[in-house]
Amino acid sequence: MQQTTQIQPSFTLKTREGGVASADERADEVVIGVGPAFDKHQHHTLIDMPHGAILKELIAGVEEEGLHARVVRILRTSDVSFMAWDAANLSGSGIGIGIQSKGTTVIHQRDLLPLSNLELFSQAPLLTLETYRQIGKNAARYARKESPSPVPVVNDQMVRPKFMAKAALFHIKETKHVVQDAEPVTLHIDLVRE
């Protein structure tokens, strides 16, 4: 008797820019605001994690909680707190996620000050795809007016000195693509079968 194994198809996530992103009234959405260079001029984080894979996990996390994820490119800043705050202000639920090209991520809420936030994930080299999925899940829970436990993160004091120079270069490259006072742009997501 011959045994057959079914291979699951594999998909890659690709982004495509649309028009100007506007605020929505959809209470069941979380807006993910990516940096100016994210998956456009830079395609991997500090630890070579593909941006498409990260977006795929963030979106999956939001959708697993029964909410809708919308992705926008924030062009006016390279500061992750302001990206997340801008995303929260576009979101019908008032909850947004900001992510820099290097991988640093923030969950934000519309009615907080820009440099305040719900959760900050500053040690990007320690974030895994599973962590990004959990970030999406927690953002969705905040959008449902729940008070989830913060996403557990690993802390390593040696990460900062090890990646400091590379992180600075990533930030400089991202900042080169900032367009002062630019409106955010909608990103359409395409799943491409591998």
Residues within the annotated binding site? 79, 102, 104, 117, 122-124
The string of DSSP letters for 22-72 reads -----TTEEEEEE-TTBTTTB-B-TT--BHHHHHHHHHHHHHHTT-EEEEE
Helices and strands: H and E segment counts in the chain: 4, 7
Residue 24 in contact with residue 92, Cβ under 8 Å? yes
Q: What angle do CA 85, 104, 76 make, to 5 degrees?
A: 45
Q: Which two tokens stand for residue 63?
A: 């959708």
Binding region for cob(II)alamin: 79, 102, 104, 117, 122-124
Identify each DSSP E strand in the chain by its residue range: 11-20, 29-34, 68-73, 95-99, 105-109, 119-121, 185-193
Q: Which residue, among 87, 170, 172, has the nearest Cα to 135 in the 3D structure?
A: 87
Answer for the pair 91, 69: CB distance below 8 angstroms, yes or no.
no
- Residue 10: both structure tokens together: 């594999």
